């Protein structure tokens, strides 16, 4: 009978298998399938991942051209920013918030395609191998290689120094890795830095006592490499006159932004010596004005002895 009204089917006949929770192996396979898609596809442009590839602080990978298109003004971009924002979720506001990841590429003769491998272990990087990259250089390694390799805090590819906190996992899957990347970005934001370790726009570094911290050392124009020269002789000799105070101007004091005491003292000494030279020059001019010049002596010889020493008034009567 075919359920045509002549019979009423029971639940046993309609439900062949009882609902059950997926097993651990099924969850693992599903997770690998999801990771395989993430390793091969840009999540915002839905296009295959091709170099150059960038990553944000959460370890997600994107095509760099898709991020640039997303960051363009609305009138200059044709992308649906709302669709992009659903995945980015405010993590990327400028190119300072991403790091270009540099993969070691190896050609696979069987598939005739290029694959990303770890330069140390030669393992293919993907859903089956946990990978990390270093900030700020962006070189990618397997997580196993970074743990086993006892380096001196420098990238083995380019010798760029890095800290332990700047080892960022790609597609963190465990709760520990996710918590690590969040703690890292929180600490960087407190320091006024972005994911790429560049200074965040509109932020100011502050000292422990709350005063603004000056990043660059204020130098007097024309003073070159005072800090690197212990004596400061070459720096003083290279000071142009345009860098010295003008006549009658007050000698400027070294800026409080100079944190190095030797740099501040050398800068002050340069200005004092320039002011002393100007003062001596003015004194020499005053002394020389007391003596007659050669041209004045020649004019005096040409004049008549009767008119020497005085001048005849213009309105004098003849």
CA pair distance 277, 300, nearest whole angstrom: 35
Pairing of strands 113-117, 131-134: unpaired
Is the sign of the CA dihedral 137, 141, 146, 151 positive or negative? Answer: negative
Give yes or no for a contact between 258 and 218, defined as CB atoms under 8 angstroms apart.
yes
**Tokens 């390694």 sit on residue:** 141
CB burial class (10 A; 0-12, 13-18, 19+) of residue 99? buried
Residue 182 makes CB contacts below 8 A (sequence gap 6+) with: none
Q: What is the pLDDT along the chain (318 residues), one digit of tens a residue?
A: 555 666 777 777 777 766 677 788 877 888 888 889 999 999 888 899 998 999 999 999 999 998 988 888 876 666 677 778 888 888 999 999 999 999 999 888 887 788 899 999 999 999 889 999 999 899 999 998 988 876 678 888 898 999 989 999 999 988 999 999 999 999 999 999 999 999 988 765 544 444 444 444 344 444 444 444 444 444 444 444 444 444 444 444 444 445 555 556 556 665 677 677 778 777 777 666 665 555 555 555 555 555 555 555 556 555
Residue 262 phi, psi dihedral angles, 5° rounding: -65, -35
Three-state secondary structure string covering the chain = CCCCCCCCCCHHHHCCCCCCCCCHHHHHHHHHHHHHHHHHECCCCCCECCCCEEECCCCCEEEHHHHHHHHCCCCCCCCCHHHHHHHHCCCCCCHHHCEEEECEEEEECCCCEEEEECCCCCCECECCECEEEECCCCEEEEHHHHHHCCCCCECCCCCCECCHHHEEECCCCCHHHHHHHHHHHHHHHHCCECCCCCECCCCCCECCCCCECCCCCCCCCCCCCCCCCCCCHHHHHCCCHHHCCCCCCCCCCCCCCCCCHHHHHHHHHHHHHHHHHHHHHHHHHHHHCCCCCHHHHHHHHHCCCCCCCCCCCCCCCC
pTM value > 0.85: no
Give yes or no for a contact between 198 and 96, defined as CB atoms under 8 angstroms apart.
yes
Terminal alpha carbon distance of the chain: 156
Torsion of CA 190, 88, 65, 166, to 10 degrees: 40
């Amino acid at each position: 009978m075919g359920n045509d009204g002549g019979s009423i089917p029971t639940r046993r006949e309609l439900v062949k298998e009882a609902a059950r929770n997926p097993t651990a192996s099924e969850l693992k396979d599903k997770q690998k399938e999801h990771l395989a898609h993430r390793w091969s596809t840009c999540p915002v442009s839905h296009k295959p991942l091709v170099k150059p590839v960038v990553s944000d602080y959460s370890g997600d990978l994107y095509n760099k051209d898709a991020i640039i298109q997303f960051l363009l003004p609305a009138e200059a971009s044709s992308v649906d920013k709302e669709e992009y924002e659903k995945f980015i979720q405010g993590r990327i506001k400028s190119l300072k918030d991403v790091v270009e990841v540099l993969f070691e590429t190896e050609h696979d003769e069987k598939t005739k395609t290029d694959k990303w491998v770890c330069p140390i272990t030669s393992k293919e990087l993907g859903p089956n191998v946990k990978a990390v990259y270093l900030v700020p250089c962006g070189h990618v390694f397997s997580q196993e290689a970074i743990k086993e390799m006892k380096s001196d805090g420098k990238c083995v590819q380019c010798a760029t120094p890095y800290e332990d906190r700047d080892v960022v996992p790609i597609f963190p899957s465990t709760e520990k890795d996710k918590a690590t990347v969040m703690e890292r970005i929180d600490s960087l934001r407190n320091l006024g830095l972005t994911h790429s370790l560049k200074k965040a726009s509109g932020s100011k570094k502050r000292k422990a006592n709350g005063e603004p911290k000056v990043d660059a050392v204020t130098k007097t124009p024309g003073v070159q490499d005072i800090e690197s020269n212990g004596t400061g002789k070459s720096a003083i000799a290279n000071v142009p006159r345009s860098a010295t105070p003008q006549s009658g101007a007050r000698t400027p004091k070294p800026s409080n932004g100079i944190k190095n005491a030797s740099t501040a003292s050398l800068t002050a000494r340069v200005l004092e010596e320039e002011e002393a030279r100007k003062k001596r020059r003015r004194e020499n001019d005053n002394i020389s004005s007391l003596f007659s010049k050669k041209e004045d002596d020649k004019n005096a010889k040409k004049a008549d002895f009767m008119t020497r020493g005085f001048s005849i008034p213009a309105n004098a009567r003849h």
